[in-house]
């Protein structure tokens, strides 16, 4: 019975999103104008209300007790373009490809099926990243790979997407909301969060290399909820990838918001009233301008 309910939830969720996409396409069309954008804004507001009503029909009044946050692209971003770093570090090892060529080859390699294991990131992810680096640069030098691999574990390689994130997360935790990172990453994620001095913001970290499941597999979201001791329907996930973050979280039964669209920043002045140490107004505490 429970399995049937979860399957029905996934089907309804996908049907709902398809209707949303159709609505947006009807509003915008191919030749968008200022008037069309204004209509879309009105439609988007209606879509948000429709989704809130949809979740209420499943779970009753919505009270988020946990916030799940994607890592790369939402919490942190590379400080310099990948291709630039690959070339800069690689010059002394004989890498001659241009940054454009490295980027093209990287995208091709990353998009290929990874046949050596079920997951791309197993433990420290070295075999996968060795394949990516050598495919992108044409260089298989072990010292080059190790220097590049270790660079991406340091605070030099990354910075926070939102400089106000710490204040906001502190306020959210004081309101009684639990926090977790949910990321497709290898075992370097934890030392990276420590290097950026943000590991203490979170009550739990669910990283694919440890959970043995990669987004959009619902398992990784369910593991995060288990670590936080909350039900999936009481959690909301924020991420920048529609397939991995939005579809995956909703298939697990969580609420989900797309970074850069539904949410633009973790703004402290967007946090609303609290009661009994719980946020009362759903995702209002995260919505940006």
Q: Nearest CA to 179 among 86, 66, 10?
A: 66
pLDDT at 37: 36
Q: What is the pLDDT along the chain (289 residues), one digit of tens a residue?
A: 444 444 434 433 443 444 444 444 433 343 444 344 344 344 445 544 555 565 555 545 546 899 999 999 999 999 999 999 999 999 999 999 999 999 999 999 999 988 888 889 999 999 999 999 999 999 999 999 999 999 999 999 999 998 888 988 888 888 889 999 999 999 999 999 999 999 999 999 999 999 999 999 999 999 999 999 999 999 999 999 999 999 999 999 999 999 888 877 776 333 332 323 333 333 344 433 3
Q: Nearest CA to 180 among 75, 78, 255, 260?
A: 75
Residue 39 is encoded by which pair of tokens? 């209509």
Distance, first Cα to last Cα, the chain: 42
Q: How far apart are CA 55 and CA 87, in angstroms?
A: 48
pLDDT at 91: 97
Q: How far apart are CA 274 and CA 242, in angstroms?
A: 29
* Long-range contacts at 41-49 (CB < 8 A, ≥ 24 apart): 47/20, 47/23, 48/262
Q: How far apart are CA 213 and CA 230, in angstroms?
A: 19
pLDDT at 261: 83
pLDDT at 224: 98
- Per-residue buried b or exposed e for 158-172, using 16+ beta carbons within 10 Å of the residue's own CB: beebbeebbebbebb
pLDDT at 51: 52
Check if the beta carbon of residue 151 is closer than 8 Å to that of residue 85.
yes
pLDDT at 52: 56
3-state secondary structure 161-209: CCCCHHHHHHHHHHCCCEEEEEECCCCCHHHHHHHCCCHHHCCEEEEHH
Residue 80: Cβ within 10 Å count = 12
* Long-range contacts at 88-94 (CB < 8 A, ≥ 24 apart): 89/144, 89/147, 89/148, 89/151, 90/137, 90/139, 90/144, 90/148, 93/139, 93/141, 93/143, 93/144, 94/139, 94/141
SS3 content of the chain, % helix, strand, coil (to 5): 55, 10, 35
pLDDT at 89: 97
pLDDT at 50: 59
Q: Tell me: the pLDDT tens digits for 132-187?
A: 999 999 999 999 999 999 999 999 999 999 888 898 888 888 888 999 999 999 99
pTM over cut 0.85: no
């Amino acid at each position: 019975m429970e399995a049937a309910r979860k399957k029905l939830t996934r089907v309804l969720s996908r049907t709902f999103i398809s209707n949303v996409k159709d609505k947006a396409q009807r509003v915008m069309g191919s030749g968008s104008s200022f008037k069309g954008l204004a209509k879309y804004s009105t439609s988007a507001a209606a879509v948000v209300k429709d989704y809130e009503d949809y979740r209420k029909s499943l779970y009753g009044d919505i009270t988020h007790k946990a916030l799940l946050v994607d890592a790369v692209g939402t919490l942190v971003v590379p400080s310099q373009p990948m291709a630039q770093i690959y070339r800069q570090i690689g010059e002394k090892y004989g890498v001659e490809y241009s940054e454009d060529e490295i980027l093209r080859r990287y995208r091709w390699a990353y998009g290929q099926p990874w046949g050596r294991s079920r997951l791309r990131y197993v433990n420290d992810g070295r075999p996968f990243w060795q394949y990516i680096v050598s495919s992108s640069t044409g260089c298989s030098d072990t010292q080059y790979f190790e220097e590049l691999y270790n660079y991406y574990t340091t605070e030099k390689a990354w910075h926070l997407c939102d400089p106000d994130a710490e204040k906001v997360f502190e306020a959210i935790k004081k309101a009684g909301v639990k926090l977790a990172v949910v990321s497709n990453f290898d075992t370097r994620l934890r030392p990276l969060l420590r290097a950026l001095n943000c590991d203490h913001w979170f009550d739990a970290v669910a990283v694919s290399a440890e959970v043995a499941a990669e987004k959009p597999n619902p398992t990784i979201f369910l593991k995060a909820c288990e670590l936080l001791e909350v039900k999936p329907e009481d959690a909301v996930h924020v991420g920048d990838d529609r397939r991995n973050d939005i579809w995956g979280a909703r298939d697990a039964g969580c609420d989900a918001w797309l970074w850069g669209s539904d949410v633009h920043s973790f703004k402290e002045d967007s946090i609303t009233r609290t009661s009994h140490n719980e946020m009362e107004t759903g995702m209002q505490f995260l919505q940006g301008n």
